[in-house]
Amino acid sequence: MFDLDGRVAFVTGASSGLGVTFAEGLAAAGADVVLAARRVDRLEEVAERIRATGRRALPVACDVTDPAQVEAAVEAAMAEFGRIDVLVANAGAVPDGFSMPERIPHELFEQSIRVNLIGTWTTVQSVGRRMLAQGGGSIVVVSSYTGVAGVPHFPPAYQASKAALFNITQQLAASWGDRGVRVNALAPGWFPSEMTEAVLSAPVFRDRIDSQAPLGRAGRPEELLGALLLLASDASSYMTGSTITVDGGTSASVGAAPYGEELFGLHDAVMPHGLGSRVMPA
């Protein structure tokens, strides 16, 4: 049921972090993979590893904030393989970083929305049109557990964009199910990646993450593959509009641990130009 042999998967954000794990996991399950990201040199490295396993891999340059680049990447995939059976819309960014909400410049808020929300939408719509025309496909939207509820002192644009992806997943599932296209979401918790390295390497923040998860730790990237392959394959043939949260149980609990001065100091250390400092009463 989890076999993807003979299918074509398209993965955005495939040059680093979880995108690499997703691409290699799909290939290991039998899929040929289209690797899309801005850094083509890194895509080539991933492609070579996938080809060494006997699967085909196509690296394509793609900045998801540019609709023309998204469309060109999807066209290149169709020209090479003739179809796209699985989309993993994984590309994301946290430009607002560890800024305090009251200090985030408008341009950083907007940039986060452009990448995480509009970029994901553009990708899903472009691939979705091809899937509808071919009579089916499985779309996996990568959201985040932080979209479930407010996380204190966390990037608000990132949270808002990830929350919106839950709704887009449901809306498209309801709209496209009659033509065989399933749309589900994967909501990871904390996993090591290029994007999370700066904060997970700080002991004060790592201790907070570990203490909030009932399983007592951050995740390992390969622990996302079970949920991903479920959603990508026929094993989830009667699932659409669903979200699978893989966060060690963090979102299952109510409330958040208090924020100490050492944690606020980390915000100051990570963010430039005072963006990580709180505005305090005079």
E strand residue ranges, the chain:
8-12, 32-37, 57-61, 86-89, 137-142, 181-188, 243-246
If you write DSSP's letter for every residue of 90-151 in order, what string do you get? -----TTTT--GGG--HHHHHHHHIIIIIIHHHHHHHHHHHHHHHT-EEEEEE--GGGSS--
Phi, psi of 234 (to 5 degrees): -70, -10
Contacts of 47 (CB under 8 A, 6+ apart): 35, 57, 58, 59
Distance CA 138, CA 106 (A): 35
Of 40, 37, 142, the closest CA to residue 88 belongs to 142
Are 57 and 32 contacting, i.e. CB atoms less than 8 angstroms apart? yes
Which active-site residues does the annotation give?
158
Q: Return the structure tokens found at 79.
A: 């020209």
